[in-house]
């Protein structure tokens, strides 16, 4: 019998959930998406999370991603969401709204967990970093498969500016950058990151990684191997489900 867990990813534009088969990361039921409320205040987001849980009629624990730092269920940063999340007991708020046990973790960490277990990082040892290029730049750092959470490498300073402001997928869209120009910015960013942590593998995720052939070959001066993510849009959901399983191992067996 499939071991299933519900994973929900809170993104800049949409909140997406699916019941995940933990053995292979496939969805046992179709993905359900609701627009992220604007402004993205905690109570409004928690209400949408309850809607997603109800949609699936889910009774077990739930894994939820958040696009910022999460320490012991408390959200500690809010770069691209309402500042009301700062210092909030978000896990408790979401548990209250949904009536479920919640595992809450950073979105890039979740995507990284899924990539390491089932995607481009499978079987890879040493230092591996997963970067999600979207509204911001998310990062997940692994050493021999073990996650160091909340690394926030998207906020490294490059020429006095947040890296994600110059090099996220949103920056490419909004500033109308061609692939070449954007790849140049990514090269500067990745060289900086490499000088700090010397990864042997950089996995590039986020929606834009579906078009990796346009920019990964143009990245220059980086020693590490650079590959596209394999789970792309679903990595956050799958990783959230995996994290919930790790927190509630018995209840995942249904
Ligand atoms: C946040 C990270 C997040 C990333 C992707 C950044 O602005 O600080 O925590 O992982 O965006 O959503």
Cβ–Cβ contacts within 10 Å for residue 253, how many?
Answer: 11
Q: How far is the CA of 152 from the centre of ligand 1 (A)?
A: 7
C-alpha distances in Å from residue 120, one per residue of 5, 110, 124: 22, 14, 9
Claim to verify: residue 246 and residue 214 sit in the same structural domain: no
> Residue 71: inside a domain, yes or no?
yes
> Residue 117: inside a domain, yes or no?
no
What count of Cα atoms within 13 Å lies in the side-chain half-sphere of residue 56?
A: 29
pLDDT tens column, 213-240: 999 999 999 999 999 999 987 999 999 9
Claim to verify: residue 43 and residue 136 sit in the same structural domain: no
Percent of the chain whose pLDDT exceeds 70: 97
Beta bridge partners, 88, equal 75
> Residue 87: inside a domain, yes or no?
yes
Find the angle CA(128)-CA(109)-CA(184) to the nearest 5 degrees.
60
φ, ψ at 41 (rounded to 5°): -75, 150
- Domain CATH number, residue 79: 3.30.420.40
> Residue 9: inside a domain, yes or no?
yes
* Residues framing ligand 1 (Cβ under 6 A): 67-69, 77, 79-80, 106-108, 132, 134, 136, 138, 152, 154, 164
Between 248 and 125, where is the model more confident?
Answer: 125
> Residue 42: inside a domain, yes or no?
yes
Claim to verify: residue 238 and residue 224 sit in the same structural domain: no
pLDDT at position 1 over 80:
no
On average, the pLDDT of the chain sits at: 96
Which residue lies with its CA nearest to atom 5 of ligand 1? 138
- Residue among 14, 107, 141, 168 to mutate when testing ligand 1 (max atoms within 8 A of CB): 107
Which residue lies with its CA nearest to atom 1 of ligand 1? 68
Claim to verify: residue 33 and residue 86 sit in the same structural domain: yes
Claim to verify: residue 147 and residue 129 sit in the same structural domain: yes
Claim to verify: residue 136 and residue 219 sit in the same structural domain: yes
Tell me how far apart the alpha carbons of residues 91 and 17 are, in angstroms, rounded to a whole number.
17
Can you list the positions of beta strands (E) in the chain? 4-10, 14-21, 32-35, 62-66, 70-71, 74-75, 102-106, 127-133, 137-143, 146-148, 157-158, 161-162, 201-205, 225-228
Give the pLDDT of residue 63: 98
pLDDT tens column, 114-156: 999 999 999 999 999 999 999 999 999 999 999 999 999 999 9
Claim to verify: residue 184 and residue 242 sit in the same structural domain: no
Tell me how far apart the alpha carbons of residues 105 and 89 are, in angstroms, rounded to a whole number.
13
What count of Cα atoms within 13 Å lies in the side-chain half-sphere of residue 82?
A: 16
Range in 43-52, 94-103, 228-237 with the lowest mean pLDDT: 228-237
> Residue 98: inside a domain, yes or no?
yes
Give the pLDDT of residue 39: 96
> Residue 116: inside a domain, yes or no?
no
CA 3 to chain centre: 22
* Residues whose CB is less than 8 angstroms from the CB of residue 57 and which lie 6 or more positions away in sequence, other chains included: none
Claim to verify: residue 134 and residue 211 sit in the same structural domain: yes
Claim to verify: residue 95 and residue 134 sit in the same structural domain: no
Two tokens, residue 201: 């593998």
> Residue 241: inside a domain, yes or no?
yes
Claim to verify: residue 99 and residue 143 sit in the same structural domain: no
Atom of ligand 1 nearest to the CA of 154: 6
Claim to verify: residue 129 and residue 225 sit in the same structural domain: yes
Claim to verify: residue 225 and residue 131 sit in the same structural domain: yes
Supply the range of the domain harboring residue 150.
123-229
Tell me how far apart the alpha carbons of residues 214 and 71 are, in angstroms, rounded to a whole number.
36
- Residue among 36, 40, 79 to mutate when testing ligand 1 (max atoms within 8 A of CB): 79
pLDDT at position 254 over 60:
no
pLDDT at position 249 over 90:
no
Atom of ligand 1 nearest to the CA of 139: 10
Between 248 and 68, where is the model more confident?
Answer: 68
Give the pLDDT of residue 251: 59
Q: pLDDT band at 26, cuts 50/70/90? A: very high
Tell me the pTM.
Answer: 0.97
Q: How far is the CA of 2 from the centre of ligand 1 (A)?
A: 32
Number of domains making up the chain: 2
Give the pLDDT of residue 100: 98
What count of Cα atoms within 13 Å lies in the side-chain half-sphere of residue 75?
A: 29
Give the pLDDT of residue 232: 83
Atom of ligand 1 nearest to the CA of 11: 12
Q: pLDDT band at 12, cuts 50/70/90? A: confident
Give the pLDDT of residue 218: 98
Which residue lies with its CA nearest to atom 2 of ligand 1? 68
């Amino acid at each position: 019998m499939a071991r299933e867990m519900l994973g929900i990813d809170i993104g800049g534009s949409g909140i997406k959930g699916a019941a995940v088969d933990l053995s292979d990361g496939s969805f046992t039921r179709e993905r359900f998406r609701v627009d992220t409320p604007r402004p993205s205040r905690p109570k409004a987001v928690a209400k949408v999370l309850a809607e997603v849980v109800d949609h699936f009629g889910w009774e077990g624990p739930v894994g939820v991603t958040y696009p910022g730092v999460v320490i012991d269920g408390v959200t500690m940063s809010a770069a691209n969401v309402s500042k009301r999340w700062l210092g909030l007991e978000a896990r408790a708020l979401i548990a209250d709204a949904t009536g479920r046990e919640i595992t809450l973790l950073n979105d890039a960490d979740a995507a990284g967990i899924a990539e390491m277990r089932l995607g481009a990082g499978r079987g890879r040892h040493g230092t591996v970093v997963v970067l999600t290029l979207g509204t911001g730049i998310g990062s997940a750092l692994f050493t021999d498969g073990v996650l160091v959470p909340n690394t926030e490498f998207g906020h490294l300073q490059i020429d006095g500016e947040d890296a994600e402001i110059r090099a996220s997928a949103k920056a490419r869209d909004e500033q109308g950058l061609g692939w070449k120009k954007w790849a140049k910015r990514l090269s500067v960013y990745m060289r900086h990151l490499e000088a700090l942590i010397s990864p042997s593998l950089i996995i590039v995720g986020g929606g834009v990684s579906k078009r990796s052939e346009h920019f990964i070959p143009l990245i220059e001066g980086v020693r590490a191997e650079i590959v596209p993510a394999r789970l792309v849009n679903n990595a956050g959901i799958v990783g959230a489900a995996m994290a919930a399983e790790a927190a509630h191992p018995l209840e995942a067996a249904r």
